Structure 1
C-alpha cells in the first residue's frame, strides 16, 4: 500500500501478527493516538457506572485491548480531535448491544429506541420522565458527547448522529434469524445488525472526507467487499462467545455466519468455520486486486484514494484486534475498571493537542498488563423592564411566599359527568397531534437533573404546562388570524373559532383541577394564577399594539414578552421547584432558587426573540408557518421594532403597508421582501442576532452558576441551548 496517504497511523510489526491467531493478508496499522481512544472508552465505563448504574460496565469487555484499542485499528486515519468522541459513541453502542443480547427481540427494540431518542439532540422522552428512568439516564449519558461533537461541525455532527440512530439502532433487530434463507440475504440483515451504515459514516466523518454520489458509485463494489469481510471476520472470531451466549437467548437471535452455514448448508461446526475463514481470505484478496485495478485506471481523486487505503488498513486492523482482544478471546475474565483520574468527555477533543507520551509513553497501558517488549508502543501523534403602571412586574423568586387559603375543597359539582368531554377536547387532541419542537419536554428533563421531582408530580406539572400552552396557541392563532400552525391548518380553521375558544378556556379549568392534586397544592395554584395573570396582561399589550398599529419601545416589548412568553417558563420552573424534595417553601429565597428564576426569565426572552428572528430568516419557519407570517398578522416583532426606531422613512413605509392591508388578508410577497430589506438596511437583523447571542451567553452563565451551587453538571440543558442557538444563522445573514 502507498505509505504517503497515511498521516495518523503506523504499521504493526508483522512478527507480532504472526504470534496472534490472525491470518489476514492485509496491512495492519494502528492510530498513533491510541491513548485517546483508550481514554474515551475508560471515560464511558466510568460514566455508565455513575449515570446508568446497572453495573454492566463491570462485566463488559469493549474496545480496549493489550494490543491496541479497536477504534485505533478501525479508524486508523481519523483526525485526532475526532477520535475520542467517535470512540466514546462507539463504546456506548457496543455496551448497549451487549445488554440487548440478553433481551427478547421486542425488549431489545424498546432499548434501541431509548438510545436512539437519547442520541437525538431534539428528541424528548415521555412527559413523565424522571432522572431515575433508564431513558433519561441514557439521555444524560450521551448529552455531553453530543454537545462536544457540535464543536467539530454542527451539520456534520447532526448527520453522523442521524445515521447512527436510523441506520443502526432502529434497524438492527431481526425478528428471527432462522428465517434468513440465502447468503446475500444474510449479509443484508447482518450489515444492519452490525451497524455498517453507521460505521461508514463515522469512518468518513473521522477523516473529514465527504464522498460525492460519483465517489460512492466508484467505490461501491469495493465497499461491499469490505463490508462483507468486516462482518465475516467478526463472526469468525466471535463464534465461540456467541455460541456460548446463545444458550440463554431466544431462538432466532443468533446472528453469525458460522451458525448460518451450519443450519442452512448442513456443515459441521468445524466445516462452517473453515468455510468462513476461506471466504475472509478470498474477500481480502478480492479487495486488494479490485483496488489496484481501480487505481491503475487513473482519475481517482486523492480523497477517494485515501479512503480506499484507510479502508484496507481498517479491515486488517479489525482482523488483528478480533484475533487478540479480550472481548472475543477472554470474555470470562473480569474487565479492568477505569481509574478515578480519567479524563471527562469534555476533555477528549483537547487530548489531540497533547503529546501522547504524557499519557502512554513508556508506561503500562491503564487497565492492562504491560505488553511484550517487542509489541508496538502506540506512541507519537499529531501534533425585565416593566410597562407603567407596573402591571407586568413578576415575582422575583421561583417560589413566592403566600398566605392563600387552601382551595382543595373546591371541586367539580356532583352532577357533572353525564356528558362526554369528547367534543370539548377534540380541538386539544388536534393541536396536540401536530409536530412539536419538544422544547418544554426537553427543558423539563434537563432541569429535573437538578430538582429530582417525583415522577407523579412531574407528570402532573408537564400535563398542566402542556394544557396551558395548547390553550395559548389556540387563542393566539384566533387573535392573530393565523391560518397555519406547524405546517398544518390552525385549530380554529378545522373546528371553528367558537368551539376552539370554548375548548381553550376549558383547558384552564383542567389545569387548575390537576394542579390541586399536588402535595403542595396551595402554593402550586398560587403560582399558576400569578403567572396566568402575567401571561394575559402581556398578551393584552401585544394585541393592543397590533390593533392600533402602535409601535412599542424596545423596553415595553421586552417587558411584554417577559410576561407573555416568560410567564409559562417561569410557571414551569416554579412548579418544579415547588414539587422538588430538595427545596421547601421556606427556602424560596435561596440563591439557587433566585438563579433558577433568572434562568427562566432569560429563557423566555430568548425563546420569543428567537422566534421573531427565525420567522424572518429561517426556511424551516417559512415551511411551517409561512414566510414572515408576523407581518401578515401586523405584529410588532423585536427586529421590526428596531428597524422602525432607527429610521423615520422605514417607520412611515412599514406602517403604511400594514395599515393598507385588509383584515384577514396576507401581505403580498413583494411587500414582505421590501420590509425585510428595510430591516437589513437599518441593521435590525444584526442587532437582534447580537441580542440573542448575548442572551445565550447569559443563559450559559446561569447554567454554570446553578451547576456550581447544586454540585451537578447539566449537559442536557447545555445541549438544549446549543440546538436552539442562532449563531450560525447570524453569520449567514451578515454575509
Structure 2
C-alpha cells in the first residue's frame, strides 16, 4: 500500500495533463481556469487507495479517479452559482469571472468529460462502476437540494441534517473507495465495508468542518471563523444548540439568529460552550469515526495494508484547517 501523499503526487501529475479544448474556446477555457485552482484531490486519491488496498493499482483506476475529480469539480462550479459565491479556493469563481450562463454550460461539459473518462475503462468493469457512479451522482444532487430546502425551513432535525450531509458529502467519498475496491477485485462483503468506512468517515469529516468554523484557530483554519454562524447555517452545532438551550439562553440565541450584531459570532460561540455543544460535537465525531474504523477493521486483508487509510482517516478528522 502506498501512502496518501505518494498517491496524491502521482495523481496530481497525471491529472495536470487533462485539459479542455474545443470550439468555442469561451466554453472550455472556464474549466481549464477552474482546474488550475487546484484542490485537495482527496476523492480521486481514495479511488487509488481503495484499489491499492486489495491489489496492485489497475491502470483503469486513473480513469475512474479522473472521472471522480471532474464530477466533484462540476458540483463545485454549480454549487458556487447556487450559493452566489464570489470566491473558490481564494480565487474568483467561474460564474463571477465568465458569467452564470457560461459557468452553467462549463459545468455541464465537465460532467460530460467525467463520462468520457469512464468510457475508457475495460468493458467488463464498466457496468458496476457506471451503476455506482450514476447512483452517487444522483444522491449528491439530492443532498444539494435538501441543503437548499433547509435554508427555507425554520427547524431541521439532527437526523435530517445527517441525511443531507450523507448524500451531499459522504456518498462520494464512500463510492470513490468502493470503485477502487471493484477495480482491485474485492468481493461484495469487502466492498460493503469499505463503502461504510467512507460514508461514516465523511460524516465525521463534516462534523469536524462545522466544529472548526466555530472553534477553530483562524490562523490555522485559513479563514475567519464564524462564517456559518453569520449565515445562520443549520450545522450540527446550531441544530444541537437549538434543541438543548433553555430559558434566557434560548431567547438570546433566537434573537441572535434574527439579527446580525457586531459580536454575533462571539456570543453564539459562548452559548455553544455554555450548553456543552462543543463537547457534544467532539463525541459525535468520535462515534462516526469509530464506526468507520470498525468497518475498516472488518475488511479481510492484511492489517498493514490498511495503515494508509487509517492515517488518512486520522488526518481528516483531526485537521485544524
712 and 533 in structure 1: CA distance in 2 versus 1, 3 angstrom threshold: same
Does residue 126 in structure 1 map to residue 1 in structure 2?
A: no
Match of residue 63 from structure 2:
460
| CA displacement, residues 246-278 of structure 1 (integer Å, 9 cap, x when unaligned) | xxxxxxxxxxxxxxxxxxxxxxxxxxxxxxxxx
Which SS does the other structure have where 1:570 is aligned?
Answer: helix
What is the rounded CA distance, in whole Å, between the counterparts of 1:464 and 1:427 in structure 2? 18
Alignment of 1:510-549 (within 5 A): 510-519=113-122, 520-546=125-151, 548-549=152-153
Does residue 431 in structure 1 map to residue 23 in structure 2?
A: no
Q: Residue 569 of structure 1 contacts residue 601 of structure 1 at CA under 8 Å; is this kept in 2? A: yes
Q: Residue 474 of structure 1 contacts residue 500 of structure 1 at CA under 8 Å; is this kept in 2? A: yes
Match of residue 203 from structure 2:
605
Q: Residue 121 of structure 1 contacts residue 720 of structure 1 at CA under 8 Å; is this kept in 2? A: no
Match of residue 690 from structure 1:
283
Match of residue 17 from structure 2:
none
| CA displacement, residues 609-646 of structure 1 (integer Å, 9 cap, x when unaligned) | 22222222223588645432223444211111111111
What is the rounded CA distance, in whole Å, between the counterparts of 1:644 and 1:419 in structure 2? 52
**Per-residue deviation, 1:426:** 2.9
Q: Residue 516 of structure 1 contacts residue 525 of structure 1 at CA under 8 Å; is this kept in 2? A: no
Q: Residue 538 of structure 1 contacts residue 564 of structure 1 at CA under 8 Å; is this kept in 2? A: yes
450 and 122 in structure 1: CA distance in 2 versus 1, 3 angstrom threshold: closer
| CA displacement, residues 337-391 of structure 1 (integer Å, 9 cap, x when unaligned) | xxxxxxxxxxxxxxxxxxxxxxxxxxxxxxxxxxxxxxxxxxxxxxxxxxxxxxx
The one of 483, 486, 490 equivalent to 2:89 is 486
Which SS does the other structure have where 1:540 is aligned?
Answer: helix
Match of residue 643 from structure 1:
241
Alignment of 1:181-260 (within 5 A): none
The one of 310, 313, 319 equivalent to 1:718 is 310
Which SS does the other structure have where 1:616 is aligned?
Answer: helix
The one of 167, 180, 187 equivalent to 1:576 is 180
Instruction: Give the TM-score, by structure 1 length.
Output: 0.39
**Number of residue pairs matched by the alignment:** 311
Q: Residue 63 of structure 2 contacts residue 118 of structure 2 at CA under 8 Å; is this kept in 1? A: yes
Alignment of 1:651-730 (within 5 A): 653-654=252-253, 656-660=255-259, 669-706=262-299, 709-713=300-304, 714-726=306-318
What is the rounded CA distance, in whole Å, between the counterparts of 1:644 and 1:122 in structure 2? 43
Which structure has the higher relative contact order (CA within 8 Å, separation 6+)? 2
614 and 515 in structure 1: CA distance in 2 versus 1, 3 angstrom threshold: same
446 and 419 in structure 1: CA distance in 2 versus 1, 3 angstrom threshold: closer
Question: Structure 1 stretch 525-534 or stretch 648-657: which is displaced more?
Answer: 648-657
Q: Residue 457 of structure 1 contacts residue 518 of structure 1 at CA under 8 Å; is this kept in 2? A: yes
Q: Residue 81 of structure 2 contacts residue 95 of structure 2 at CA under 8 Å; is this kept in 1? A: yes
What is the rounded CA distance, in whole Å, between the counterparts of 2:126 and 2:89 in structure 1? 34
Q: Residue 54 of structure 2 contacts residue 301 of structure 2 at CA under 8 Å; is this kept in 1? A: no
Q: Which runs of 5+ in 1 are unaligned?
A: 1-50, 53-117, 131-416, 661-666, 730-735
557 and 513 in structure 1: CA distance in 2 versus 1, 3 angstrom threshold: same
**Per-residue deviation, 1:465:** 0.9
Cα RMSD, aligned residues only? 3.2
What is the rounded CA distance, in whole Å, between the counterparts of 1:460 and 1:669 in structure 2? 49
Instruction: Give the TM-score, by structure 2 length.
Output: 0.83
**Per-residue deviation, 1:601:** 1.3
What is the rounded CA distance, in whole Å, between the counterparts of 1:422 and 1:624 in structure 2? 34
Which SS does the other structure have where 1:719 is aligned?
Answer: helix
Q: Residue 253 of structure 2 contacts residue 268 of structure 2 at CA under 8 Å; is this kept in 1? A: yes
Q: Residue 532 of structure 1 contacts residue 567 of structure 1 at CA under 8 Å; is this kept in 2? A: no
Match of residue 278 from structure 1:
none
Which SS does the other structure have where 2:263 is aligned?
Answer: helix
**Per-residue deviation, 1:525:** 2.0
427 and 668 in structure 1: CA distance in 2 versus 1, 3 angstrom threshold: farther
The one of 499, 515, 535 equivalent to 2:102 is 499
What is the rounded CA distance, in whole Å, between the counterparts of 1:690 and 1:646 in structure 2? 16
